[in-house]
Amino acid sequence: MSDYLSRLEAEAIHVLRETAGQFERPALLFSGGKDSICLVHLALKAFRPGKLPFPLVHIDTGHNFPEALQFRDQLAEKLGEQLIVRHVEDTLKRRGIPDAKGKFPSRNPLQTHTLLETIEEFGFDACIGGARRDEEKARAKERFFSVRDEFGQWDPKLQRPELWNIYNGKIHKGENVRVFPISNWTELDIWNYILRENIELTSIYFTHERTCVLTEHEQLMATNEFITLDEHDVIVNRLVRYRTVGDMTCTAAVESKANSVEDIIEELKNTTVSERGATRMDDRVSEAAMEDRKKGGYF
């Protein structure tokens, strides 16, 4: 079995089964984006004909694309699996945390609070996520089983060595583990897998017309109720698609006419800009933005 997609798939299924075997209360974090959709697909391969040994959990920032939320609900229903949704809005109100401000008010860092609350509410000891090492250089240092302390914090200098196919998920009470089964996949691998497996996705990954505001970094941000426009803003109508499905307040669209998975693969082979570079505003804050968020409990 030397085909690379089959090797990556086997590795991910192995990690998912280890998670189910080693933890009492795992959960799969599901956003309706392509990476988590692939995770669900892999989980079905790992555990059918049984039920998934974990619920699907979504931390809803309130700034999600409606298309992604709809897709999320439909998929959970079609599969007959449990979906738990917790809202950042509720956490902010209950704990009096100030909401995100500014022209593009990203709740991306704030969702860590809700994630940690949800982990506590259900006593999850492992949370499976679709983060990939190729996304970002701090993520390139992540383990498959990433142990977090009682505060959800990541300590990159004290990571457990991970060898062969052996994953040490032993933790003390209160700690939990973030599990990343598709660590070794790249953006292009995901798309090649979606093509091979004929996986259904939400419509915003494919070309559509959208009204966008052009940001100072020449990024296209869809106009929506959460962002503040002013008179200097340049508003354009473009044929776009999304490379990642994050919040509407911090995820930019890319100009594209790609109408099928094949088109997208062709487009990605020729692009010169990275996935997060093309689409995320939140990583531009500093060179170590991701490392700092992860140390604080983020994925």
Partner 1 sequence: MELLRFFTAGNVDDGKSTLIGRLLLDSGSISTDIIETVTRQSKATGEHATIDLALLTDGLRAEREQGITIDVAYKYFSTDRRKFIIADTPGHAQYTRNMFTGASTADMAIILVDARNGITEQTRRHTIISAVLGIPHILVCINKMDLVNYSEARYEAIKRDFSAVTAALSLNQVSFIPTSALSGENVVHPSTHMHWYTGQSLLSFLEQIPVQPIQSHDKARFQVQYVIRPQTTELHDYRGYAGTLWSGKLQVGDNVQVLPGGFSTRIQTIEHNLKTIESADAGQPVVIQLEDDIDISRGAWIAPVSELPVMSDFVQGTICWMDNKPFQTGGMKLLLQQGSFSTKAFIKEITYKIDIETFEKRPSDDELKLNELASVLIRTAEPVVFDNYKENRTTGAFILINEYTNQTVAAGVLEINLQH
Which residues contact partner 1 by CB under 8 A? Answer: 1-4, 6-10, 13-14, 17-18, 20-21, 44-51, 53, 133-134, 137-141, 156-157, 159-166, 168, 170-172, 183-184, 186, 188-189, 271-274, 277-278, 287-288, 291
CB of 211 to partner 1, least distance (A): 25
Nearer to partner 1, 168 or 224 (CB): 168
- Is the separation of the CB atoms in 128 and 27 below 8 Å? yes
CB of 253 to partner 1, least distance (A): 16
User: Which residue, among 281, 291, 297, 295, has the nearest Cα to 106 in the 3D structure?
Assistant: 281
Nearer to partner 1, 69 or 79 (CB): 79
Q: Return the number of other C-beta atoms located less than 10 Å from residue 153's C-beta.
A: 12
Nearer to partner 1, 1 or 232 (CB): 1
Nearer to partner 1, 93 or 137 (CB): 137
CB of 89 to partner 1, least distance (A): 32
Residue 35, both tokens: 């990476």
Nearer to partner 1, 20 or 199 (CB): 20
CB of 273 to partner 1, least distance (A): 5
Sequence-ordered alpha helix ranges (H) in 174-288: 187-197, 261-270, 275-279
CB of 38 to partner 1, least distance (A): 15
Which H helix or E strand runs over 75? helix 66-79
Nearer to partner 1, 183 or 251 (CB): 183
Nearer to partner 1, 47 or 122 (CB): 47
Q: What does each C-alpha distance from 137 to 84, 127, 133, 134 come to in angstroms?
A: 31, 21, 7, 7
Nearer to partner 1, 86 or 139 (CB): 139
CB of 162 to partner 1, least distance (A): 6
Calpha distance 118→257 (Å, rounded): 39
> What is residue 24's DSSP assignment?
S
Calpha distance 86→61 (Å, rounded): 9
Residue that has been written with the tokens 């008179």 in this structure: 231
Calpha distance 88→94 (Å, rounded): 10
CB of 189 to partner 1, least distance (A): 8
Residue 273, both tokens: 């800009």
- Is the separation of the CB atoms in 32 and 245 below 8 Å? yes
CB of 24 to partner 1, least distance (A): 13
Name 77's Cβ contacts closer than 8 Å, sequence gap at least 6: none
